[in-house]
Amino acid sequence: MNLSRRSARPVLSTHNVHEVGIMESALALVARHAAGHGDRRVSRVVLRIGALAGVEIESLCFAFGVVSRGTVAEGADFEIEEVPVAVYCHGCHLEFAVETGGFIFTCPNCGDLCGEIRRGRELELSRIEMT
């Protein structure tokens, strides 16, 4: 975990603007699903975010607090399921998971560098819970 993820108050930068846009998409989806269920209060929102999705988790949490105000998801628990990277080695026909902390992907079998990313770019609304 790096320092920026640990910081308690993320700085509002263009980076945060990106996460705010992502969160607006997520909450629009939440609102659409809640409307189909009688606009009940949403108690939990769960996103699936890949390690290579290019979004900062801390900034997303910050964006959820801001963007959810006045929506059906205001005050809901916000949870992120992080999706680890999975890479494919063409030489060995082997798919392998990558431990967090590095972005140089070498096949554990042959040691070659691998560029085909099978998982880890996810940016999804996984599920919502309602009371």
Partner 1 sequence: MCLECGCNHPVPFGVKVLSVIAPGLLKPRVPDGPHTIEVHASLLAQNDDAAARNRARFASHGMLALNLLSSPGAGKTTLLSRTVDVFGHEQRCAVLVGDLETDNDARRIHRPHLPVVQITTGTACHLDAEMIARGLDTLSLDGVRVMFIENVGNLVCPAAFDLGETKRVVLLSATEGEDKPLKYPPIFKSADLVLLTKIDVADALGFDIATAVENIRRIAPQAELIQLSARSGEGMDEWHDFLRHHLPV
Q: Which is nearer to partner 1, 82 or 124 (CB)?
A: 124
Residues 55-114 that bind partner 1 (CB under 8 A): 55, 103-105, 113-114
- Of these, 31, 116, 118, 119, which contacts partner 1 (CB under 8 A)? 116
Written as six digits, the tokens of 12 are: 């509002």
CB atoms within 10 A of CB 5: 12
Verify binding: residue 118, partner 1, rule CB under 8 A: no
**Angle between helices 57-67 and 14-35 in degrees, nearest 10:** 50
At 5, the amino acid letter reads R
Written as six digits, the tokens of 77 are: 């628990």
Residues 63/16, Cβ–Cβ less than 8 Å: yes
Least distance (Å) from partner 1 to the CB of residue 94? 15
| Nearest CA among 65, 45, 47, 55 for reference residue 18 | 55
- Of these, 4, 5, 21, 109, which contacts partner 1 (CB under 8 A)? 21
- Please give the Cα distance from 56 to 66 (Å, whole number): 16
- Of these, 53, 72, 73, 98, which contacts partner 1 (CB under 8 A)? 53
Verify binding: residue 115, partner 1, rule CB under 8 A: yes
What does the binding site for partner 1 look like in residue numbers (CB under 8 A)? 14-15, 17-18, 21-22, 25-26, 29, 33, 37-38, 40, 43, 47-48, 52-55, 103-105, 113-117, 121, 123-131
